[in-house]
């Protein structure tokens, strides 16, 4: 009789182990194939690969965000926005706590929780949706996204995880351009100012040269003469194009989505739980910088090379956001490890060392870090914004690392229209050697 | 505690964990509801808002002085066209259904004539020019016989959102203006406001 009970329990343990370990490969393992296709500069194949590996329902947000990004790489902006819209609805829904998922996350691993997106991902969703609408020529819809970015930033500022995400200046800069294009001067001025303050305060980014001109142009338009004078003095710029001057010209806004965002990987470590004094194994996520980007880019227009300026460094933003969450993630991982350790000890006491050994294996195998992310975001975003006379242009963009040329991109027949901005975008991923 | 009881507890716990892991949301349920029934899901602008606003605002525009003023000076009914309604809100609003609702209310009132919008006109013109070549002469419609609109209805939807934690107040303001095509006079200005308090649940399945 005793043997029967033991066998039955072993069966349950083995069943649980099989069930759990089957889902224990990290998210990064699932998407390796997609990476390979992107390295081959083939977003269409990458999209097909991603759709094959859509993963469980709890990974849906990561799937939607990455799918939306791959769709825009293939220039299918409407489909991309449909995915972004679904992602927004999902984020709203995931704002509420699921007790079932919490139990799973606290007893097995963080990956059993539905992925709600990192704070910066929730902001970039709106920025990329806005860029999609700009490509579709739907300026009012891009404006809707600009308003939603503001709401998102406000709600992130209220919550503990979001605070770590130091509002990205690019969010403000993009919304400013949208308002200016709609001739909503005061909103544009406020957003340019917000962007400027954040660039000026940033340790890694510098104030883009064209933003200085934007501030001069808008403060003159708004009749803010003191502010205009102070900008002129700070920037050392006397001559600038007024709103009327710019109206007679067109503008090129070239946006380079450079490389891929850092990859979330897992790192195992053994830590002491101060409550029990035991040594426990935990796994935590960390970001690894991807080497798919160019350090510098410049555009050749009318025979003159114009440098692109880094508007946001998503690699740094992502790392900073995750770093702020690490203490909470560590505390939860330790609590989980102690719980599993207790279970293993109890089983060992009751069922003998073999059963205890199995539970230990299950415990170790199920302790995997949550490595889900919007990995198809770029490493950074570089922009060139310049006034040009209305005409048709051929533009060549050079990508390089210090002195090494990495590649060139050619854009033929770009039409610049008077009084309008022409948005040209390109995702670029360094080819595999 | 006897060892057997302890192990029963353990089994139960294990089974419960397995069940919790395996149980996920059940199948999709679809229920047909009347189109007039109000169902607020997310608190966003929906079909009910579109219908209520268009009904009220069109009832208002048709009850104002400009209509009698027009009738006293001209024979017949004024011709109206719906121009651009801009979405200046924080939501992606389907303006086609809103414009459609307003057009329906205007036409069905029987108090005004209504002409096709610029997009629709293009299509009709294409068809008419096609008739020039392909239709029988006695059924062919001539060019240059269109009725020009007397008034254009233009407007915008604006929002103000205030939120704190899980609660939000959404305030929608729809502004419509009726402009005389002959001299740019604004003959009617209407406004409709909707205020919604949205409280999000703290828990989900």
Q: Can you give the three-state secondary structure of A13-57, one letter per residue?
A: HHHHHHHHHHCCCCHHHHCHHHHHHHHCCCHHHHHHHHHHCCCCH
- Alpha-carbon distance A41 to A426, whole Å? 12
Is any Cβ of chain B less than 8 angstroms from the Cβ of A5?
yes
Is any Cβ of chain B less than 8 angstroms from the Cβ of A311?
no
Q: Name the residue in chain B with its Cα closest to that of A56.
A: B24
CB contacts of B156 in chain A (<8 Å) are: none
Task: Indicate the pLDDT class of residue B16, thresholds 50, 70 and 90.
Answer: low
Burial of residue A218 (CB within 10 Å: 0-12, 13-18, 19+) is: buried
Q: Name the residue in chain B with its Cα closest to that of A97.
A: B203
Task: Indicate the pLDDT class of residue A278, thresholds 50, 70 and 90.
Answer: confident
Q: Name the residue in chain B with its Cα closest to that of A98.
A: B204
Shortest distance between the Cα of B133 and any Cα of chain A, in A, equals 35
**Residue B20 pLDDT exceeds 70:** no
A140's CB contacts (< 8 A; 6+ apart) are A182, B86, B87, B88
B110-135: b (≥16 Cβ within 10 Å) or e: ebbbbbbeeeeeeeeeeebeebeeee
Is any Cβ of chain B less than 8 angstroms from the Cβ of A155?
yes
Site of tokens 């890694």: A204
- Alpha-carbon distance A89 to A295, whole Å? 36
Q: Name the residue in chain B with its Cα closest to that of A107.
A: B17
Site of tokens 């003023």: B69
Q: Which B positions 49-68 lie with beta carbon below 8 A of chain A?
A: none
Task: Indicate the pLDDT class of residue A95, thresholds 50, 70 and 90.
Answer: confident
- Mind listing the pLDDT tens digit for each residue in A296-354? 999 999 889 999 999 999 999 999 999 988 999 999 999 888 888 888 888 888 888 88
A285's CB contacts (< 8 A; 6+ apart) are A264, A265, A266, A267, A322, A329, A369, A370, A371
Computed over its alpha carbons, how large is the radius of gyration of chain A? 25
Percentage of chain A exceeding pLDDT 90: 65
* C-alpha to C-alpha distances, A113 to A117, A239, A371, B48, nearest whole angstrom: 11, 55, 12, 35
C-alpha neighbours within 13 Å on the C-beta side of residue B42: 12
Mean of pLDDT values over B170-195: 95
Give the residue among A342, A18, A55, A364 at the shortest CA–CA distance from B18: A18
Is any Cβ of chain B less than 8 angstroms from the Cβ of A147?
yes
- Mind listing the pLDDT tens digit for each residue in A5-59? 555 565 565 555 555 544 456 777 778 889 889 988 899 999 999 998 888 899 9
- pLDDT for the residue numbered A24: 54
Shortest distance between the Cα of A397 and any Cα of chain B, in A, equals 35
CB contacts of A112 in chain B (<8 Å) are: 21
Task: Indicate the pLDDT class of residue A154, thresholds 50, 70 and 90.
Answer: confident
Shortest distance between the Cα of A27 and any Cα of chain B, in A, equals 18
Q: Which long-range contacts (CB under 8 A, 24 or more apart) does B108-114 make?
A: B109/B58, B109/B62, B111/B62, B111/B67, B111/B77, B112/B62, B112/B67, B112/B77, B112/B78, B112/B79, B112/B80, B113/B76, B113/B77, B113/B78, B113/B79, B113/B80, B113/B147, B114/B79, B114/B80, B114/B81
Site of tokens 């308090």: B197
Record: contact A103-B15, CB cut-off 8 A: no
- pLDDT for the residue numbered A164: 60
**Residue A1 pLDDT exceeds 50:** no
**Residue B164 pLDDT exceeds 50:** yes
Shortest distance between the Cα of A89 and any Cα of chain B, in A, equals 9
**Residue B119 pLDDT exceeds 70:** yes
**Residue B7 pLDDT exceeds 80:** no
Is any Cβ of chain A less than 8 angstroms from the Cβ of B20?
yes
Task: Indicate the pLDDT class of residue B81, thresholds 50, 70 and 90.
Answer: very high
Per the structure block, which two tokens stand in for B155?
């407007």
Phi, psi of B88 (to 5 degrees): -105, 20
* C-alpha to C-alpha distances, B59 to A83, B65, B96, B178, B200, nearest whole angstrom: 39, 13, 20, 13, 34
- pLDDT for the residue numbered A193: 96
| Element holding A355 (H helix, E strand) | helix A353-366
- Mind listing the pLDDT tens digit for each residue in A156-198? 887 766 566 666 899 999 999 999 999 999 999 999 999 999 9
- pLDDT for the residue numbered A7: 57
**Residue B5 pLDDT exceeds 60:** no
Residue B202: which of A9, A92, A96 has the nearest Cβ? Answer: A96
Shortest distance between the Cα of A151 and any Cα of chain B, in A, equals 8
DSSP conformational letter for A59:
G
Q: Name the residue in chain B with its Cα closest to that of A130.
A: B92
- Alpha-carbon distance A285 to A287, whole Å? 7
**Residue B6 pLDDT exceeds 90:** no
Per the structure block, which two tokens stand in for A189?
């001025």
Residue A155: which of B3, B87, B163 has the nearest Cβ? Answer: B163
Q: Name the residue in chain A with its Cα closest to that of B201.
A: A96
Residue B21: which of A9, A19, A57 has the nearest Cβ? Answer: A19
| Element holding B192 (H helix, E strand) | strand B186-199
**Residue A389 pLDDT exceeds 50:** yes
Higher pLDDT, B3 or B45: B45
Mean of pLDDT values over A361-382: 90
- Cβ atoms within 10 Å of B9's Cβ, excluding its own: 11
- Alpha-carbon distance A180 to A191, whole Å? 10
Give the residue among A278, A335, A328, A327 at the shortest CA–CA distance from A107: A335
| Element holding B7 (H helix, E strand) | helix B3-22
Record: contact B10-A104, CB cut-off 8 A: no
For β-strands B113-114 and B79-88, DSSP reports them as: parallel
Q: Name the residue in chain B with its Cα closest to that of A144.
A: B90
- Alpha-carbon distance A216 to A239, whole Å? 9
- Judged by average pLDDT, the poorest of A375-384, B19-28, B98-107, B177-186 is B19-28
Record: contact B90-A147, CB cut-off 8 A: yes
Record: contact A12-B92, CB cut-off 8 A: no
C-alpha neighbours within 13 Å on the C-beta side of residue B178: 24
- Judged by average pLDDT, the poorest of A110-119, A252-261, B60-69 is A110-119
Mean of pLDDT values over B136-146: 90
Q: Which A positions 42-81 lie with beta carbon below 8 A of chain B?
A: 57
- pLDDT for the residue numbered B25: 42
Per the structure block, which two tokens stand in for B193?
């406001």
- pLDDT for the residue numbered A3: 47
Shortest distance between the Cα of A132 and any Cα of chain B, in A, equals 14
CB contacts of A111 in chain B (<8 Å) are: none
Q: What average pLDDT does the structure give for chain A?
A: 89
B49's CB contacts (< 8 A; 6+ apart) are B172, B194
Residue B42: which of A92, A98, A151 has the nearest Cβ? Answer: A92
- pLDDT for the residue numbered A98: 85
Percentage of chain A exceeding pLDDT 70: 92
Phi, psi of B97 (to 5 degrees): -70, -35
Per the structure block, which two tokens stand in for B112?
């005004």
- pLDDT for the residue numbered A29: 77
């Amino acid at each position: 009789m005793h043997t029967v009970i033991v066998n039955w329990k072993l069966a349950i343990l083995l069943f649980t182990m099989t069930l759990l370990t089957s889902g224990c490969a990290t998210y990064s393992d699932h998407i390796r194939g997609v990476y390979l296709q992107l390295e081959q500069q083939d977003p269409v194949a990458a999209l097909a690969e991603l759709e094959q590996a859509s993963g469980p329902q709890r990974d849906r947000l990561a799937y939607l965000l990455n799918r939306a990004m791959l769709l825009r790489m293939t220039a299918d902006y409407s489909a991309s926005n449909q995915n972004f819209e679904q992602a927004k609805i999902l984020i709203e829904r995931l704002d509420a706590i699921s007790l079932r998922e919490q139990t799973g996350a606290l007893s097995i691993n963080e990956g059993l929780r539905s992925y709600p997106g990192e704070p910066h991902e929730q902001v970039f969703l709106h920025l990329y949706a806005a860029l999609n609408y700009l490509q579709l020529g739907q300026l009012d819809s891009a404006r809707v996204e600009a308003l939603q970015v503001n709401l998102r930033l406000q709600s992130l500022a209220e919550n503990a995880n979001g605070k770590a995400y130091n509002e990205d200046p690019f969010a403000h800069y993009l919304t400013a351009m949208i308002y200016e294009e709609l001739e909503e001067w005061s909103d544009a001025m406020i957003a340019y100012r917000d962007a400027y303050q954040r660039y000026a305060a940033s340790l890694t980014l510098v104030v883009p040269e064209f933003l200085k001109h934007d501030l001069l142009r808008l403060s003159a338009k708004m009749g803010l003469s003191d502010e205009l004078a102070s900008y002129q003095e700070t920037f050392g710029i006397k001559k600038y194009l007024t709103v009327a001057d710019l109206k007679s010209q067109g503008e090129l806004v070239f946006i380079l989505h450079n490389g891929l965002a850092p990859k979330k990987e897992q790192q195992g470590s053994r830590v002491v739980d101060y409550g029990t004094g035991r040594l426990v194994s935990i796994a935590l996520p960390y970001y690894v910088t991807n080497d798919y980007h160019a350090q510098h880019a410049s555009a050749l227009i009318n025979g003159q090379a114009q440098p692109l300026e880094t508007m946001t460094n998503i690699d740094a933003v992502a790392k900073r956001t995750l770093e702020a969450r690490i203490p909470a993630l560590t505390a939860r991982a330790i609590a989980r490890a102690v719980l599993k350790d207790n279970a293993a000890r109890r089983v060992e006491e009751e069922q003998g060392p073999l059963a205890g050994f199995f539970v230990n294996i299950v415990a170790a195998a199920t302790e995997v870090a949550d490595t889900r992310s919007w990995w198809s975001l770029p490493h950074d975003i570089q922009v060139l914004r310049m006034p040009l006379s209305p005409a048709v242009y051929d533009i060549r963009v050079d990508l390089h690392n210090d002195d090494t040329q990495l590649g060139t991109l050619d854009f033929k027949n770009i039409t610049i229209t008077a009084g309008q901005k022409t948005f040209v975008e390109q995702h670029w991923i360094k080819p595999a050697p | 505690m006897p060892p057997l009881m302890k192990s029963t507890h353990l089994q139960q716990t294990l089974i419960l964990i397995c069940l919790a892991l395996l149980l996920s949301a059940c199948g999709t349920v679809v229920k047909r509801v009347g189109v007039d029934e109000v169902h607020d899901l997310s608190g966003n602008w929906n079909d009910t808002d579109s219908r209520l606003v268009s009904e009220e605002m069109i009832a208002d525009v048709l009850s104002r002085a400009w209509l009698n003023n027009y009738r006293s000076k001209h024979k017949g009914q004024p011709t109206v066209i719906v121009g651009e309604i801009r979405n200046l809100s924080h939501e992606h609003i389907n303006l086609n259904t809103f414009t459609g609702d307003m057009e329906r209310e205007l036409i069905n009132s029987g108090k005004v004539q209504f002409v096709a919008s610029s997009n629709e006109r293009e299509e009709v013109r294409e068809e008419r020019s096609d008739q020039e070549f392909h239709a029988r002469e006695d059924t062919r419609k001539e060019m240059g016989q269109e009725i020009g609109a007397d008034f254009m209805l233009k407007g915008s939807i604006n929002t103000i959102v205030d939120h704190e934690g899980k609660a939000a107040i959404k305030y929608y303001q729809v502004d419509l203006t009726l402009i005389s095509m002959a001299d740019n006079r604004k003959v009617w200005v209407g406004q409709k406001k909707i205020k919604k308090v949205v409280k999000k649940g703290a828990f989900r399945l």
